[in-house]
Amino acid sequence: MAKPPPPDEKAELVDHVAAFQGYFKVGRYFFRHSLFQGGQSGVISREVFERGHAAGVLPYDPARDEVVLIRQFRAGSYVAGRHPWSWEVVAGIFEAGETPEELVRREAVEEAGVAIGDLLPIHDLMLSPGAMSESCAVFLGRVNASTAGGIFGLESEGENILVKALPFAEARRMLDGGEIDNAVAVVALQWLALNRDEVRRRWR
């Protein structure tokens, strides 16, 4: 369980307006907050990219020691000057009333054509807290990777997703070599690297 925040770290919302509304939303927020040296700040203004909250899952087959990764075009990577196709874990944005576990099970079928069995929570993290409100609950999901692979995604959402099952050792080499630069995928693969022996004992 997370520790409660320090009592002297407080923030107050003064005002909020919609700065932009398109496929995504940007809000302009006005805050006051406590200062480490005591007292309170003046009113500060920050634009926040509001995309919704997400959950992601790294599908893992403990018997075959394989992970299932997906690859798709990413506009943000293109604009950042990086190669715009990225190796990732399965992930998506919450639909109304959906739990994180329900979300990752749904997205695993839609994006990768795999059914998730057992789930282990990895972390619930903020992706870029200086500019975005989006959080992501990350899981490890047990799958049978023997038939994983192919091209998936919803055409109605413009998705064209390559799915590949990889030996964990190969995925680790890709991670160490910088081929995997998606933050959630990096966190999930590093967590699996640290906990793989225990996971394989638990999921025998």
Which of the residues are catalytic?
157
Across the strands, what pairs with 55?
Answer: 92, 137
Our CA dihedral for 123, 163, 87, 191, rounded to 10 degrees, sits at: 30
Residue 134 tokens read as 């989006």
Q: What angle separates helix 183-202 from helix 168-176, to the nearest 10 degrees?
A: 150
- Report the distance separating Cα 124 and Cα 108, nearest Å: 18
